[in-house]
Every structure is written in C-alpha cells, then in structure tokens.
Amino acid sequence: AQTVTQSQPEMSVQEAETVTLSCTYDTSENNYYLFWYKQPPSRQMILVIRQEAYKQQNATENRFSVNFQKAAKSFSLKISDSQLGDTAMYFCASPAGQGGSEKLVFGKGTKLTVNP
Amino acid sequence: NAGVTQTPKFQVLKTGQSMTLQCAQDMNHNSMYWYRQDPGMGLRLIYYSASEGTTDKGEVPNGYNVSRLNKREFSLRLESAAPSQTSVYFCASRKARGHHEDEQFFGPGTRLTVL
C-alpha cells in the first residue's frame, strides 16, 4: 500500500516568520502530481498547492512554495510571512499507485498554529 | 456554483440504526469519493466512483455501501451503524480520469456520532 508520511504532528510559528512542513511519499506512479491541502477550523478542505513530478522547478503560489526532491520522494511545504489565517491542519497527498491516479493517499496531517 | 454539497451536516445515530449521507456536485465532474476523517488518522478513502455506474472500494469499505445515482450524486449508506463509525465524513469530486493535475474538491463534511 502506498504511504504518505508527515513526521510533524504539530508545529507553531510566530506571525511573519517562515515555517516548513515536511512530507515523504511512496508511489509507483510515473507521471503524477502531489498536493498540499489546508483544513482550517471551519473543516473545509482547500487546495494550497500542487507539484508536477516531471517538473524540475518547484511550484509556488504567493507565500506558499514547495521543496520537491523526486529521488528522495520528499515534498515539503514552505509558508513565508506566516499569517494568523494560516492556522490550520495541513495534509500532503500523493497518488495511490497501481494506475491509481484517480485515488489519493493522504498523510495524517500537521497541525500548524500561527501565534501573534 | 455550489461546488460539492453534503447533507446532513450533523447526525447522531444509535447503534444498529441506518442512514444515508447524501453528496452532490454541480461541476460536471466524473469522479466522486467518500472519505472518513478520524483524529490523528488523516483522510481515509471509503469508496470512490470513477464515472456514473461504477464504484470501487477504498481503504476502509467495511460497513458501508455506496450508490452513484447519476453523474451529480454519490451517496454513502450505513446499514447498521456502529460506534466505530463515529467520524467526520467528506465527499469529494474530481474532473476527469487521466487528468493527473486535477485536484479533488471537497464538501463541507458531515459529523456523525454513533452512540
């Protein structure tokens, strides 16, 4: 079974600082995308950023960027200039494998708290 | 566009009762999914449907059944609820098969408690 590991169950950061959330995955897919989702206290799952595995360049979306290391199967999320609204659970997701790009496997999540 | 909608938002059942969670999407997506979220466990796939008329088991299908009623709707049924099924249930949808870049869009979730 494919697995996604988020090794930091909880993290905290001061407002305006930078924080990095780690994720490692294990997929047998060749052409795939990786995703980071955010779940604020409202419970709504929101896409933060996606990375194409074939691209060398790391994806960026405003204050959010990834550090993608394909050989190491590592996909970390960097949040710059942290804001109070970034307080949320963050989930990393990768394809389930075996032709399973239709399905995603999610990590157990990292609870991020941004302190004022 | 309402996106992905789920009903109900909250439900309390007694052990042995049955119920159906409803999910609908208005984005003309082909794939639909049911997940459960438990503390410290992330999201785990219960069932998914790649297209109308097809369903497939996910990681934790026991105790659940699903129906892909049409392209818009995908329901999850608990025939005989058990306390172990206390969880938050999410429905999600995704545009099309083979489009690896497509993300899943999620509904607001249903918090189910089985006493």
Is A64 at the interface with chain B, CB within 8 A?
no
Say whether pLDDT at A107 is over 60.
Answer: yes
- Residue identified by tokens 């003309």 is B28
- Report pLDDT for B99: 72
Q: What does the pLDDT read at residue A97?
A: 67
What is the C-alpha to C-alpha distance for residues B115 and B113, in angstroms, rounded to an integer? 6
Tell me how close the Cα of A95 comes to any Cα of chain B, in angstroms.
9
Distance CA B110, CA B91 (A): 9
The residue in chain A having the minimum alpha-carbon distance to the alpha carbon of residue B6 is A44
pLDDT reported for residue A100 = 54
Q: Is B3 on the interface with A (CB under 8 A)?
A: no
Query: Average pLDDT of B91-114?
Result: 89
Q: A26: closest CA among A57, A53, A60? A: A53
Does B61 reach chain A within 8 Å, measured CB to CB?
no
pLDDT at site A28: 76
* Rounded CA separation B29/B72 (Å): 8
pLDDT of residue A103: 86
Residue B57 has which token pair? Answer: 């088991």
Taking residues A57-83, what's their average pLDDT?
Answer: 95
- The radius of gyration computed from the CA coordinates of chain B, to the nearest angstrom, equals 13
- The reported pLDDT for the residue numbered A99 is 56
Helix (H, G, I), strand (E, B) or coil at A54: coil
Q: Of B45, B92, B109, which is closest to A43 when you measure between CB atoms? A: B109
B-interface mutation test, from A43, A102, A104, most B Cβ less than 10 A away: A102
Give the model's pLDDT for residue B2: 85
> How far apart, in Å, are the Cα atoms of B40 and each of A36, A53, A82, B62?
17, 27, 24, 20
What percent of chain A shows pLDDT beyond 90? 76
| pLDDT of res. A98 | 60
Residues A4-55 have pLDDT tens digits of 999 999 999 999 999 999 999 998 777 789 999 999 999 999 999 999 988 8
Nearest residue of A to residue B42, measured between CA atoms: A108
Q: How far is A89 from chain B (nearest CA, A)?
A: 10
The answer to whether residues A8 and A110 touch, using CB atoms and an 8 Å cutoff, is: yes
> Between A and B, how many residue pairs show a Cβ–Cβ distance under 8 A?
49
Closest Cα of chain A to B26: distance in Å?
Answer: 17
- Selected residue with higher pLDDT from A96 and A109: A109
The average pLDDT across B86-112 equals 90
B85 touches B114 (CB < 8 A)? yes
Write the DSSP symbol of residue A41. Answer: T
